[in-house]
Amino acid sequence: MSNATPVTRREFIKTAGAVAGASMLPINPGLASDAGRRRYAIVGTGDRGVTMWGRPLVERYSDVLEFVGLCDINSKRAAVAREAIGVQCPAFTNFDEMLDKCKPQLLMVTTVDAFHSQYIVKALDRGVDVMTEKPMVIDERQCQAVLDAEKRNQRKIVVTFNYRYAPKHQTIKEILLSGEIGRVTSADFSWYLDVSHGADYFRRWHRLRARSGSLLVHKASHHFDLMNWWLAADPVEVMAQAGLKVYGKNGSFRSTVCRGCPHRSSCSFFYDITKNPFRTKLYSECEDVDGYHRDGCVFREDVDIFDTMSALVTYSNGATMAYSLNAAMPFEGYRVAFNGEKGRLEVRDYERQPWVQEEETEIYVTRSFGKRQKVSVPKPPVGHGGGDDRLRDLIFGRIELPIHMRLPDSRAGAMSCLTGIAARNSVDQKRPIKISELVRL
Ligand SMILES: NC(=O)c1ccc[n+]([C@@H]2O[C@H](COP(=O)([O-])OP(=O)(O)OC[C@H]3O[C@@H](n4cnc5c(N)ncnc54)[C@H](O)[C@@H]3O)[C@@H](O)[C@H]2O)c1
């Protein structure tokens, strides 16, 4: 990758013109209130509820938000979460009771994926604005129910696609918007989950299709959302293949949980949760209530999702994408490339690897018959490439961003999930699936 002229993101965008003049979002485009503090509640008080949508909100946005309720099916976990978040509001195991007693105006949904839709619909029907973690839903029936509820109530849903807000992903969007590589005709997108992060999905509820919709929905919905947004297009048709090649039944031995496992000294996937005091308190010490083991065995026979997936997606603008997701890789990161009529944009992102890597992200723009430029982006050392902080700041009115960084809505939530749902259906039915077969938009 030599002989490329180095250029910063700012310089590239300035010379590329089109994006530099983009209008800005109003300073308060999200769900912060102009009229005093909004009454805020969370359903699903696991790690994401506490560490992304709990404690940081108390620390940074208490001027616009007031925590009024927490809800989780596990009463012990909700109590641990309340202490970790640092609030005094009541905690419930019954969602309706929380709505009745606490009257939230804004709800954050951070439960197990399969249950997002029921809480979104209930909240919308009670006039509450909703933020939900991805994936918005895990199947087409849930998707239709959420879209219908939003329409009938004329409320707002924000789907918290934090990946969009990482500076590297904004840079990719802006290079495409600049028109430097012309109309995109096709894209290659490969995401690599390593044997630590990838394996983690097989330790817990994600391993069951009925809970996560499989990684084609749970994880890939992030990637499908990025691609829909980068291309500014909707998915139209998906053809996919997938298999379970490493985890689950593929193991030569198995147990139920890592703690006390007879294979602990020989299993490379052994995970010692006792070394993490927060997880021990939030999960292990609460597991007598619901049997949720955060350190479950990755080789359990009941794993019914895939660890090796590929899909071909056709988009409404005529572009195609060759996509793959592998969950047992020796390193973590991705490659994405866009082939345009006037050039090619190539990106290699390194998130974790067993070698020293100077740069997190390599971005190259090559013009056909022309020069190659290397675009550098800032590298924030914080959650999800800086996406977590910037997303929260945008929602609660702390930063101004260009119009193409607007908050993802229910359509974005639906289109990303539907790509994964279509891929899953395609694997099952061994045929291409049209998105229009799945829901009425
Ligand atoms: N955007 C991101 O980068 C990102 C990162 C991590 C997780 N997530 C999403 O956040 C959500 C939570 O993930 P997590 O890692 O915290 O999971 P988790 O398992 O740690 O927490 C889920 C919580 O939901 C509770 N729960 C389960 N069923 C419930 C029900 N029917 N009603 C109410 N509560 C219920 C569990 O008791 C648990 O406390 C998931 O949807 C996940 O996809 C997003």
Domain boundaries, the chain: 38-160, 164-248+303-379+410-437, 255-290
DSSP string, 281-303: HHTGGGHHHH---TTB-TT-TT-
User: Terminal CA-to-CA distance of the chain, rounded, Å?
Assistant: 44
* Longest pairwise C-alpha distance within the chain: 66
Give the model confidence (pLDDT) of 395-406 as tens digits. Answer: 998 888 999 999
Take atom 39 of ligand 1 and give the residue whose Cα is closest.
46
Confidence at residue 441, expressed as pLDDT on a 0 to 100 scale: 85
Q: Is the model's pLDDT at 1 over the cut of 60?
A: no
**pLDDT score for 28:** 58
Find, among 249, 193, 244, the residue nearest to 220 by Cα: 193
What pLDDT score was predicted for residue 134?
Answer: 98
- Ligand 1 and 44: CB distance under 6 A: yes
pTM: 0.95
Mean pLDDT value of segment 11-32 = 66
Look at residue 16 in the predicted model and tell me its pLDDT.
63
Q: Which of 76, 81, 77, 75 is nearest to 67 (CA)?
A: 81
The continuous run of DSSP H or E covering 147 comes out as helix 140-153
For ligand 1, mutation pick of 112, 164, 221 (most atoms within 8 Å of CB): 112
Where does residue 287 rank: exposed (0-12), middle (13-18), buried (19+ CB within 10 A)? middle
What mean pLDDT, rounded, does the chain reach? 94
Out of 3.20.20.140, 3.30.530.20, 3.30.465.10, 3.40.50.720, select the CATH number for domain 38-160.
3.40.50.720
Q: What is the pLDDT of residues 335-373, one digit of tens each?
A: 999 999 999 999 999 999 999 888 889 999 999 999 999
Fold of the CATH domain 164-248+303-379+410-437 = Dihydrodipicolinate Reductase; domain 2 (3.30.360)
pLDDT at 107 over 90: yes
Amino acid making up residue 380:
P
pLDDT at residue 11 above 80?
no
Phi, psi of 330 (to 5 degrees): -75, -10
Atom of ligand 1 nearest to the CA of 113: 41
Residue 18 has pLDDT above 60, yes or no: no
**Tokens representing residue 65 in the block:** 């938000």
CA of 352 to the centre of ligand 1 (A): 24
Cα–Cα dist 420/438, whole Å:
11
Provide the pLDDT confidence category of residue 10 given band limits of 50, 70 and 90: confident
Within 10 Å of residue 350's Cβ, how many Cβ atoms?
17
Contact yes or no for 287/293 (Cβ under 8 A):
yes
pLDDT digits (tens, 9 = 90+) for 45-91: 999 999 999 999 999 999 999 999 999 999 999 999 999 999 999 99
Say if residue 44's pLDDT is above 50. Answer: yes
More confident: 131 or 25: 131
Give pLDDT, residue 22. Answer: 72
Half-sphere exposure of 358 (CA within 13 A, CB side): 2
Q: Which atom of ligand 1 is nearest to the CA of 119?
A: 32
Q: What is the CA radius of gyration of the chain?
A: 22
The DSSP annotation for 163-186 comes to GGGSHHHHHHHHHHHHTTT-SEEE
What distance in angstroms lies between residue 11's CA and the mean position of ligand 1's atoms?
40
In the predicted structure, residue 29 carries a pLDDT above the cut 60: no
pLDDT of residue 390: 94
Sheet with 106-109: strands ordered across: 91-92, 65-71, 38-43, 106-109, 129-132, 157-159
For residue 39, pLDDT over 80 is answered with yes
Q: CA–CA distance from 386 to each of 159, 170, 174, 259 (Å)?
A: 17, 11, 17, 34
Under a CB-based contact definition with an 8 Å cutoff, are residues 56 and 87 in contact?
Answer: no
The beta-carbon contacts of 315-318 under 8 Å, at least 24 apart in sequence, are 315/228, 315/231, 315/233, 315/234, 315/235, 315/236, 316/233, 316/234, 316/235, 316/236, 317/183, 317/184, 317/231, 317/232, 317/233, 318/185
State the Cα–Cα distance between residues 266 and 279, nearest whole angstrom.
24
Q: Which of 432, 218, 406, 232 is nearest to 315 (CA)?
A: 232
pLDDT at residue number 76: 98
- pLDDT of 426 above 80: yes
Confidence class for position 252, pLDDT limits 50, 70, 90: very high
43 lines ligand 1 (CB under 6 A): yes
What one-character DSSP code corresponds to residue 256?
S
Q: What is the mean pLDDT of residues 216-231?
A: 98
* pLDDT of amino acid 381: 67
pLDDT given at position 26: 66
State the pLDDT at residue 19. 65
Q: Is the CB of 416 under 6 A from ligand 1?
A: no
| Residue 97 identity | E
pLDDT in tens, 286-340: 999 999 999 999 999 999 999 999 999 999 999 999 999 999 999 999 999 999 9
